[in-house]
Amino acid sequence: MSKTRKAPVLVHDAAKTGGLTELRHQEALLKTGALQNAILNSANFSSIATDEKGVIQIFNVGAERMLGYAAADVMNKITPADISDPQEVIARAKALSKELKTPIAPGFEALVFKASRGIEDIYELTYIRKDGSRFPAVVSVTALRDAQDSIIGYLMIGTDNSARKQIEEEQKKLDQRLRDQQFYTRSLIESNIDAIMTTDPAGIISDVNKQMEALTDCTRDELIGAPFKSYFTDQARAEAAIKRVLNEKKVSDYELTARARDGRETVVSLNASTFYDRDRMLQGVFAAARDVTERKRLDQVLQEKNVELENAKSVAEKANLAKSDFLSSMSHELRSPLNAILGFAQLMESDTPPPTPAQQESVAQILQAGWHLLKLINEILDLAKVESGQVPISQEPVSLSDVMLECQSMIEPQAQQYDIKLTFPRFDSPCFVMADRTRLKQILINLLSNAIKYNREQGTVEVSCTTSTPERIRISIKDSGAGLPPEQLAQLFQPFNRLGQEASGNEGTGIGLVVAKRLVELMGGSIGVESTVGVGSVFWFELASVAEPHVVIEEGDTAALAVPLLPAGARPHTLLYVEDNPANLKLVEQIIARHPDLHLLTAVNGNSGIEIARASQPDVILMDINLPDINGVEAMKILREDPLTAHMPVIAISANAMPRDIERGLNAGFFRYITKPIKVNEFMEALGVALEFAGQKDEQRK
């Protein structure tokens, strides 16, 4: 029973197994068909199948998308060669013919020849779309065969290669730019006049330029990998240079001596710094060594020349000092007999009984020559002082109108003597220049005196002031004299050169113009002349224009002006201000006018200031340094030596504001040293201390 029951089961199982196999086979076929359909209908690549002659039989969706043709446009009508670049097809046919040593016709055969021989074939080709545009494609060709292994067609699978081509082109451009940059960088390094090298952090050379090869007489290959220090005479110092760069990030003007293979030595100045990669990781040291051998030689020569110049300067200064001493000594020696000559000549002129007419004429000649000699001595000394820098220049705002009035009153007697008409400018508004007031008057008097002396009879002299630039004022002295030819103009401002006037009746020394020129230049100005023969000459000089000076009121100054300097009920105090500049006198007068307990006296030169101080016994003296007769320092020393005035505190007020000027003034004995322009707060503070000091002195004297 058991056997008869098992048999049907076996039959049933076999039938069941066969059915499953068949089912699986059908499923595989369906799956394969679906896969094939998916491939054929893929839009990502073109699938073109042809018959054995190349006529397109299948043109999938991807081909339609890439090429712009509908399948119906091409199937059974054209071959893939018709949608390919013809020049590329011809070129492929030639290349294959050469490679395979067999003639291959340009056309479809060239596209499938390898595949038809069973050779795997993948190549690049340019497809032409329906609209005529082109794109690069990568094409894989496979021969389709039947069961008897006969070719029944070809399958050409293509992918659009545009993106890859674009990337490749961009990469080519980047590579080219990189090569260009590397070439440019290398060119910069090689064209540098310095020997350039790089080292790793251990001081091993990693790169050099041609200059480094020339410096060491070694090739680039020999230098790379060698220690940096090996190419210098002092290897320890060279090694220290690398360590210093690594520690301090850079080093400048580090001197080393390079030694070439042939023993030649070159002094170089090393400038180096560390360099890094893009991640800021230290890569090593970049160093440039400049040949300074010639510079060192020139420095040595320069140093030697400087020593020579210093010696020459010292000799010149000694000679100049000797000249000044000689002139000073000669001045004294000449003045003594000249004093006797002029003195006795004047006595003879006024003797009783009076001299005979012949004697009077002789005495007049003696006096005329004597006074001229005295003037010559004074002008030579003046020139010597100017040229040796011994003339102090104290520049401050100076009113041109005030100076012109003073010069006019001084020069008018000379003009009347020569019957010359003088014309001075009228100033409708304040006009100030930056100058030394005393020296400005000296320049004007000199030019005016010359314009009068060398004029024609009943001639004219016209003084004018114009603005040459917004920053400068030109003072011109125009005469109606004979004028100067060009050759004489070229000789102006030369010492002792009177331009042929020696034989004229006009006395002169040929020094005044030279001194005037030097003084103008010391005040930062310029001087010149324009002349026309038969018409006259115009001598001019320019100085810096400045605004009218005012009291400088700073923060706190108003309060300082309001505070009385003396306690209530105290006796009024007297001040003496020795100053030749009216503008400065006016400023101080304005300040003192705010204090009814103070009385101000003024003097315009040092000698008159001394006399007023002796007579009026002021409590405090304010002293300008640069005065027209004796300077403020000399006046102060005279006051110190006189028992009548020795107790009076003297405050210096000067435009000489350099620290050495202040120090020199205080060392000379001034109680305080105030610089112009006057600052009210500083002025009042110094005045208060001086008055307090004067009060203490008065108590002691009592």
Residues 13-39 pLDDT 10s: 545 555 566 666 556 555 555 555 655
Q: What percentage of the chain exceeds 90 in pLDDT?
A: 43
Say how far apart CA 674 and CA 201 lie, in whole Å.
62
pLDDT score of 583: 79
Separation between Cα atoms, residue 484 and residue 490, nearest integer Å: 10
Higher pLDDT, 567 or 594: 594
The more confident residue out of 306 and 272 is 272
Q: Which of 67, 70, 112, 55 is nearest to 89 (CA)?
A: 112
d(CA 609, CA 627) in angstroms, rounded, equals 10
The predicted pLDDT at position 630 comes to 87
The pLDDT assigned to 382 comes to 64
The pLDDT tens digits for 648-679 are: 999 998 877 778 888 888 999 999 998 877 78
Mean pLDDT value across the chain:
83
Distances (CA, A) of 168 to 128, 172, 341: 21, 6, 112
Q: Are 84 and 156 in contact (CB under 8 A)?
A: no
Do β-strands 650-654 and 672-675 pair in parallel, antiparallel, or remain unpaired?
Answer: parallel
Longest CA pairwise span in the chain (Å): 204
Using DSSP bridges, classify how beta strands 432-435 and 536-546 pair: parallel, antiparallel or unpaired.
Answer: antiparallel
Q: How confident is the model at residue 474 (pLDDT cuts 50, 70, 90)?
A: very high
Q: Which residues of 54-92 are buried (b: 16+ CB within 10 A; e: fewer)?
A: bbbbebbebbbebbbbeeeebbeebbbbebbbeebbeeb
pLDDT digits (tens, 9 = 90+) for 287-306: 999 988 888 888 888 888 88
Please say if the pLDDT value at position 198 is more than 60: yes
SS (H, E, C) 636-651: HHHHHHCCCCCCCCEE
**For position 427, what pLDDT does the model report?**
87
Find out whether 240 and 247 touch, Cβ atoms under 8 Å: no
35 vs 453, more confident? 453
pLDDT at res. 6: 45
Which pLDDT belongs to residue 342? 73
- What pLDDT sits at residue 11? 45
Beta bridge partners, 58, equal 49
Dist CA 11 CA 7 (whole Å): 7
Structure letter (DSSP) for residue 78: -
Greater model confidence, 294 or 373: 294
Beta strands in 72-150 (DSSP E): 121-128, 134-145
Q: Quick check: 54 and 80 in contact, CB under 8 A?
A: yes
Does the pLDDT of residue 229 top 90, yes or no? yes
Find which of 31-40, 113-122, 157-166 is predicted with most confidence, using mean pLDDT.
Answer: 113-122
Domains and CATH numbers, the chain: 46-160 (3.30.450.20), 192-291 (3.30.450.20), 310-387 (1.10.287), 396-546 (3.30.565.10), 557-701 (3.40.50.2300)
pLDDT tier at 543, thresholds 50, 70, 90: very high
DSSP string, 115-127: HHTT--EEEEEEE
The pLDDT of residue 577 is above 60: yes
> What backbone torsions phi and psi does residue 48 show, to the nearest 5 degrees?
-125, 120
Phi, psi of 470, deg, nearest 5: -55, -20
Nearest to 636 by CA among 644, 6, 115, 645: 645
pLDDT of residue 702: 61
Can you tell me the distance from the alpha carbon of 214 to that of 262, in angstroms, rounded to the nearest whole number? 11
Nearest of 681, 680, 679, 683 to residue 651 by alpha carbon:
683
Residue 692 to residue 566: CA distance in whole angstroms: 9
Between the two ends of the chain, the Cα-to-Cα distance in Å is 170
Banded model confidence at residue 7, pLDDT cuts 50, 70, 90? very low
Confidence of residue 387 (pLDDT cuts 50, 70, 90): low
pLDDT score, position 2: 42
Q: If you average pLDDT over residues 149-178, what whole number do you get?
A: 87
Task: Find the mean pLDDT for residues 364-379.
Answer: 73
User: 436 φ, ψ to 5°?
Assistant: -90, 115
Q: Lowest-pLDDT range, 171-180, 347-356, 572-581, 622-631?
A: 347-356
pLDDT at 556 over 90: no
Q: What is the DSSP string of 203-257?
A: SBEEEE-HHHHHHHT--HHHHTTSBGGGGBS-HHHHHHHHHHHHHHSEEEEEEEE
Distance CA 622, CA 585 (A): 11
- Strands 432-435 and 56-59 turn out to be unpaired
For tokens 């503008």, name the residue.
583
Write out pLDDT tens, residues 579-626.
988 878 888 888 888 888 889 999 999 999 999 999 999 999 999 988
Mean pLDDT over 48-74 rounds to 93
H-helix segments, 388-485: 400-417, 437-453
The pTM of the full predicted model, rounded to 2 decimals, is: 0.47
Tell me how far apart the alpha carbons of residues 327 and 329 are, in angstroms, rounded to a whole number: 5
- pLDDT at res. 518: 87
- The burial class, CB within 10 Å (0-12 / 13-18 / 19+), for 634 is middle
